[in-house]
Chain A
Amino acid sequence: MANKNILLIEPGYKNKYPPLGLMKLAQYHGPNGKQDNVRFIKGEDRDVLKTAWDRIYVTTLFSFEFSRIAQSIDFALEVSNHQPDKVFVGGIAASLMNERFVDEPRWRGIRFIKGLLADAPAKSLQLDDFSEELYSDDLSSTPIEDLAPDYSILDQISYQYPVRDAYFAYASRGCIRSCHFCGVPKLEGSQRDTDSIAAIVRKIDELYGPKKDLILMDNNIVASPRFKEIIAEIRDLGFTPGAKLHRGRSSVQRRVDFNQGVDARILCKSSMYLRELSTICLKPLRIAFDHWGLKGPYEQAVRYAHDFQLTELSNYMLYNFHDSPADLYARMRLNVSLNEELKIRIWSFPMRYQPTDLPDRSHIGEKWTRYQLRSLQIILQATHGVVSGNPTFFKRAFGDTLSEFEDILLRPHHYIFNRDWYELYGGRTEFEEYKRKFSRLCVADKKELLSVLSSCDPRNFGELKNSAPNVRLRSVLHHYGQLPKEDEAMIWEQQRAIQFSQLNEPGLAEDEFVEDAGLEDYSAPMVAPLLKTSRRRKERATA
């Protein structure tokens, strides 16, 4: 049986990595598998309504993208001609919030797959042979999870994943830890090793040609009892320091990326780990630095890295969990100090915590406020989610002291967003006046200010001055009203002629940015200049 029509849908959100699950399903159904006709779309391409589909798979990623995921599921249902038994939804969000999906009455009959497709296809996909479902007798094929991803489907869409020229593999699944903020224990369970990565790399080579990079998505590779063997296997695959991939006349630098980061609590125990990691072309070395309590292990791990000439570092910094702005600032500051002391480059990626079963990004940690979270988000929008370890850039973006950082977080958002304009150009007088007024606030005033600003929608900030408890606050609140669209447009227009200072040092490749820095859920007016900025960055890259 072949020639069945299989539709793969990835919701229309922005993401960094291609949908591995769908690529493996494409391998299962495609020319090397069931020989079906596989079509891959991103978002809702209504052209597919012209075809009858025998099966439709929808992948899901971040749970906070629930509304966009829901849109894709509704679309899949429409494409299936309201035959929900043809629709299968899997992936991270579908696993983490499985009940929420299953409980939705309008999706009754759709199969929401929890976890990996690690059993025989018919079992993993919950196919029912009594209903004579397609491939329901396939109880002996290789589990879909273990198949090589089909890269060819990526050519069917116009969306360009920042990371695509890479082998995507796992040397292990699961994790030894069960951190409350993390979805891995729910998704993959406890840690165990997987099959040889060499086999999957060879298979990809054979089917789709060699790839530049090796992206290993292990959750905690250093916890694997086979750690040294895995590193040896990576070396044997040719991913050693300085390795290049030759394509025709050109050659490109290869790199290995453990993109989920490595565990500082294990790295700090022995120099062996970083010695081993230094024998492969690891770039960057990503270490999670989730709270200030990890300072000791983290710092030790960075020092070991330095000892073995691993100088390109990157780290994930969880915030909005049990931490505070001061905790985050201390962690960022430590990186600046380590950069200066060790002459290395650490890029930090603050990752805003959201509970894994929350369908949006509305969570506010107990030591954060809504206003501060928005402020940080706006700063990070300008830096593309990255915190530079370079002291000059860092101080400009986040302040030289904790107090400065806290004051920046408390600034009117249009002052943060159009920072150069207000600090250096046409808005300077107004900004100076604001600073004067702000400097008169006492600690209690600032606390009150933060509280009122976090209590209502930004559209209502203009009204707050009327209910301010004292003159000082009333005069400061005068600056928080939303900038009229025309004024903002005028600022952007005038800014075009100005060469801006950067809040970030250049040099970080697009494929090293984090998957989601939570930068895109802000109100609409903030979107336009962000796009403009990214266009500038792309232009620079091509210049």
Chain B
Amino acid sequence: MSANKLLILDKQPTLPIEWESHAGPAVIGKDILELFSGSMYIDPMSIFREYIQNAADSIDEACRNGMLGPKDRSRVEIKLTPLTRTVTIRDNGTGLPHNEFVERLIAIGGSKKKGTEARGFRGIGRLAGLGYCQELIFRSRVKGSSRVSELRWDCRQLRALLRDATFQGDLAAIINQTSKIGRVKSDNFPERFFEVELCGVVRHGNDQLLNSNAVEAYLAEVAPVPFAPEFRFGSMIVDLLRTHLLLNDIEIYINDSEHPVYRPHRNNLPLGESKSDSFTELQPIHIPAVDGGVAAAGWILHHGYIGSLPQSAPIRGLRTRSGNMQIGAGDILQGLYSEPRFNGWTVAEVHVLDKRLVPNGRRDHFEQNVHLRNLENYLSPYAREISSRCRTNSAKRKLMRDFNRNRGLIDELIEILEQGGLNRSDRAGIANKIQQTLDLMERITNRNTLDNQTKLELTSTLVSLRNSLTEIIDTLPTNNPLAHFPAGKRRAYEKIIGLIYECSSNQMVAKTLVDKVIAKLTE
């Protein structure tokens, strides 16, 4: 054995070891805050997801405890002010009483939402804004309270201390040093609310955080907002899911817009480059849980499967939602397809219901466990079916293209026959070519890829083509524009016309030429 080789045994020998517990407190350093604020939320837009998620949880709670009645609107207002570089997100959920406000907003991790119906449960989402602004402010008031609670994070100082190698404080020390809590008496706020204000929003990339169109598009894709009223499958999807979950949509208004943000689905399905399609069929998805019950429910909107949706289409792909908020993006389940490109042809969503299907901290996927594998396993046949539809429709379209191309060819040949001017042998040659093409079209018609309705339509087209061919052939002898020439001359002209067709690579160009020749000859 080489001296450099490290020997690893198949099974380590069991040696007597004296175990002891770690006695002192575990050190939690300041850098963990950078992990939660910066590293966790790489996409700046995800801060909207985190704050809308908290708003949605608060609104749900307000509905449960009667603060919001059935007729009240659950509402979130977003104000983007490019001039002051400020983003404000305010909801009409429960709000937080001052003591709870301090306790919950200062804590890192250990969310009180854990084990409840709420979407968030890790207690770190509200830190998402720390990395994207100079000052992060939380405000809240509950009904009956005259004062508004306020927590301010000084993000500039926070960044400086995180970078400062000489700062020896731990997590608690850096929080204490960079945040402050206060209460203010003000009539400028609603009687019950919670809001997040990001002041001095950092210029990041194309400054999407302050772009209302970009924010609306992002939230339309991710947030628990309603389907657009004009989307005809919207109410059907809501009804279909009702047995499993209530979507609890919230209304989000951006910069005082008249209409709330809607989900991005519309009746028309844009496929790019002036192509579009429409939805034809709604198929439910039902995923049983590992040990009984329902793990997930969802839907597929089938369409003509003409092609893939554009990469940027916000409805493209088999998507997942938890608490009606999107997890990951359109490619999260791409791996279920034997050919991943067919995910791009898919419009479908799955709402996970099993609490053991846990979104990961970045909410770009789920925690890997047996329940996720069960979800993927049960979704695979759906993915296979979609792939099969894509392939079948593609094959069908090819057959239809072939059929129509051949039909066009027959039309051209019929026009040549109708033109007259060919001798008997050339006419027979064209009639034979038409017959062969018809036979080919008949074989296409009989292909199993085509459905019965299409087969019937194609058969009917074939019958009419055959009939018109018989009609033309019957009338040919009386239809010769060269008939008035003496036989010898006529045969010579016919021979030349035949040669024009024979030597031409394009039958229709040749026909135009022959039309002109015949016109000259018969002037």
Contact = CB atoms under 8 A, between A and B. Distances in A.
Contact of A51 (B291, B376, B381): B381
A497 interface: no
Contacts of A540: none
A134 B290 CA distance: 7
B385 interface: yes
Given A132-B370, A133-B370, A53 B290 contact: no
Contacts of B427: none
B341 interface: no
A128 to B, nearest CB: 9
Given A50-B385, A133-B370, A2 B290 contact: no
Interface string B302-345: 00000000000000000000000000000000001000000000
Judged by DSSP, the binding face of B is helix
Interface stretch (A80-88, A184-192, A284-292, A481-489): A80-88
A77 B373 CA distance: 14
A49 B381 contact: yes
A362 interface: no
A542 interface: no
B377 A81 contact: yes
Given A49-B384, A131-B370, A86 B377 contact: yes
Contact of B373 (A3, A4, A49, A83): A83
B291 A1 contact: yes
Contact of A81 (B292, B336, B371): B336
B373 A85 contact: yes
Contacts of B373: 83, 85
Interface in A26-51: 49-51
Interface string B263-290: 0000000000000000000000000101
A239 B188 CA distance: 97
A52 B381 contact: yes
A81 to B, nearest CB: 4
A85 B292 CA distance: 19
Nearest to B374: A54
A80 B378 CA distance: 10
B380 interface: yes
Contacts of B291: 1, 134
B478 interface: no
A54 B373 CA distance: 10
A132 B369 contact: yes
Contacts of A86: 377
B381 A2 contact: no
* Residue of B290, B336, B385 ringed by the most chain A CB atoms within 10 A: B290
Most A CB within 10 A of own CB, among B292, B373, B380: B380
Interface in A1-27: 1-4
Contacts of B336: 81
B384 A50 contact: yes
Interface string B354-386: 000000000000000111011011111100110
Given A49-B384, A50-B385, A81-B336, A132 B377 contact: no
B292 A1 contact: yes
Contacts of A54: 290, 374, 377
A236 to B, nearest CB: 44
The SS class assigned to the A binding surface is loop
A306 B243 CA distance: 75
A134 B291 CA distance: 7
B371 to A, nearest CB: 8
A313 B129 CA distance: 87
Contacts of A4: 288
Contacts of B370: 131-133
Interface string A312-352: 00000000000000000000000000000000000000000
A52 B380 contact: yes
A279 B134 CA distance: 98
A49 B380 CA distance: 9
Contacts of A133: 370
B373 to A, nearest CB: 5
A324 B291 CA distance: 59
B288 A53 contact: no
A4 B393 CA distance: 33
Contacts of A52: 377-381
B378 A132 contact: no
A205 B378 CA distance: 37
Nearest to B338: A78
Contacts of B369: 131-132
A113 B224 CA distance: 47
A83 B376 contact: yes
A1 B385 CA distance: 27
A35 to B, nearest CB: 11
A437 B60 CA distance: 99
A88 to B, nearest CB: 15
Interface in B397-441: none
A136 to B, nearest CB: 9
Nearest to A80: B377
Interface string A50-75: 11111000000000000000000000
A23 B382 CA distance: 30
Interface in A159-203: none
Given A131-B370, A133-B370, 15 more contacts: A2-B292, A3-B288, A50-B384, A51-B381, A52-B377, A52-B379, A52-B380, A52-B381, A54-B377, A81-B377, A81-B380, A85-B373, A131-B369, A132-B370, A132-B371
26 contacts: A1-B291, A1-B292, A2-B292, A3-B288, A3-B292, A4-B288, A49-B381, A50-B381, A50-B385, A51-B381, A52-B378, A52-B379, A52-B381, A53-B377, A54-B377, A81-B376, A81-B377, A83-B376, A83-B377, A131-B369, A131-B370, A132-B290, A132-B369, A132-B370, A134-B290, A134-B291
Task: List the 3 closest pairs (A to B, CB-CB), nearest first.
Answer: A81-B380, A52-B378, A132-B370
